[in-house]
Chains A and B, each alone.
Chain A
């Protein structure tokens, strides 16, 4: 298993889409922090953050788009592209069970997803603190907020990676995976909310889904019960879709 993971990690670190995403997100974060520094909201500017911690907070609320789009791109070019290249054959015939093969791949992908999810807020807070000072939050402890949101970012990224990884296993093709995942993530909230008018139980399902967690976890005043719900929902989503991914891959014929 460790051999498989080492091989997947090697592939991930040489995956151009991961590097491209990292560079784009790094550059976007630098630009964002510089905008905030030069565009003073007290002087008619549009940017509202005035410290590193506020930049961390605002970048986390934008992070849901990065998680949804970034992970879809990474899944397409890290998982699905192996079907097009034929390299999935090498893994399947390597003498390890299919479950181990796909767990190694999804684990590497999940770590890549966590890196993608952290870059934008991390660069913002570091650069923002250097330029504006770290600052403080009015309604919460800085340390508690940073630790909580840092952990939740990783957990939410893992849950989304698990879902997108499952799509990638099913779809076999980079273009289809990227396209389908982005369309799915952009419309699923609206579809569920609309459908819940006719099936009220869907509203409850939505409120206890990772789709809702990603919207809430950066709230400064998140209650303890909501935090625990977020942790459990994210962990359960990760586990369920990982198992679905394993089941799908075990039955998959490699063409």
Chain B
């Protein structure tokens, strides 16, 4: 089984004179929730459109489930569920009829899947109500239901929480997490609400002006965004022993240059500095550090944090 569901190599897309994607090499591991972060117009939707076959690359390659041939890519897309940009629905049809079209198209046997999927997204009670009379939140749920019908292995969701109320956002997040953890569906999700992605994604890609600036795991991101006290003393080994003995903590890291990053006792820095001073250590640096995801992202794309 291939380790990656989607990989792109030097993917570039040009619209007339505008470079929408520039040399993007992206890797989405099986089983991950890949949060795609970028400003409006950064290239998130363009990449999704290329991956799903809605648009064609100017250069570069796309690999889905390990397949990269033209016909194989088309076939591989049967294993995907897609909701890109505004909910793609037949407004004059009911939720059930919208799903029935998808069921027929994919050759999914029986009607049981439709019922189950509608229950899963909380639209089982919409009856004969036409999709055009749905709220934006309901349309988003229905678009997700369409994407989920047929048990996809890979979901591509572009701003799926747009238009949802706060409760809806939480429900959507819980649902996606459940789908990922319990069924193992890999998810590529874009959003410009970073706090929301931070609560969901296991991997991140930061895109800016068509260029993929960075890919990182949740651990790596947390390390970068984590609040800590930066300590520089004359003897890091002794300081480490003091932290363990006097402050009963192992939540710190000694970096190769001897700097210590302490992730606990952030509320009581004086206790830490006091313990180090009492042990006779000369403190050269002692300062709280770290940043929120928003400020990390802003800094990464070249703005002011």
| A residues adjacent to B (C-beta < 8 A) | 3-4, 6-7, 10-11, 14, 16, 85-97, 253-254
Contacts and interface: CB of A to CB of B under 8 A. Distances in A.
Contact of A87 (B76, B79, B88): B88
A92 B53 contact: yes
Interface string B93-130: 10001001110111100000000000000000000000
Interface centre among A4, A16, A90, A97 (most CB of B within 10 A): A90
Interface in B40-63: 49, 52-56
B235 interface: no
A6 B104 contact: yes
Contact of A89 (B56, B82, B106): B82
Interface string B220-255: 000000000000000000000000000000000000
Contacts of A253: 49, 54-56
Given A10-B100, A93-B77, A95-B77, A87 B52 contact: no
A95 B146 contact: no
Contacts of A6: 104-105
A14 B92 contact: yes
B90 interface: yes
B97 A85 contact: no
Given A94-B105, A94-B106, A254-B49, A89 B77 contact: no
B107 A3 contact: yes
Given A87-B89, A89-B54, A254-B55, 7 more contacts: A14-B92, A85-B91, A88-B88, A90-B101, A92-B53, A93-B54, A95-B78
A56 to B, nearest CB: 34
B54 A11 contact: no
Interface of B: 49, 52-56, 71, 74-80, 82, 84-93, 97, 100-102, 104-107, 146
Q: Chain A CB within 10 Å — which of B74, B78, B87, B91 has the most? A: B74
A216 to B, nearest CB: 38
A182 B105 CA distance: 32
A92 B54 contact: yes
B90 A85 contact: yes
14 contacts: A6-B105, A7-B105, A11-B101, A14-B92, A16-B92, A85-B91, A89-B52, A89-B88, A90-B102, A92-B53, A93-B82, A94-B78, A95-B80, A253-B55
A87 B55 CA distance: 15
Contacts of A4: 105
Contact of B105 (A85, A86, A89, A90): A90
A86 B55 contact: no
Given A93-B54, A95-B78, A86 B88 contact: yes
A94 B71 CA distance: 13
A91 B53 CA distance: 11
A47 to B, nearest CB: 38
Contacts of B107: 3
Contacts of B86: 86
A4 B103 CA distance: 10
Nearest to B78: A95
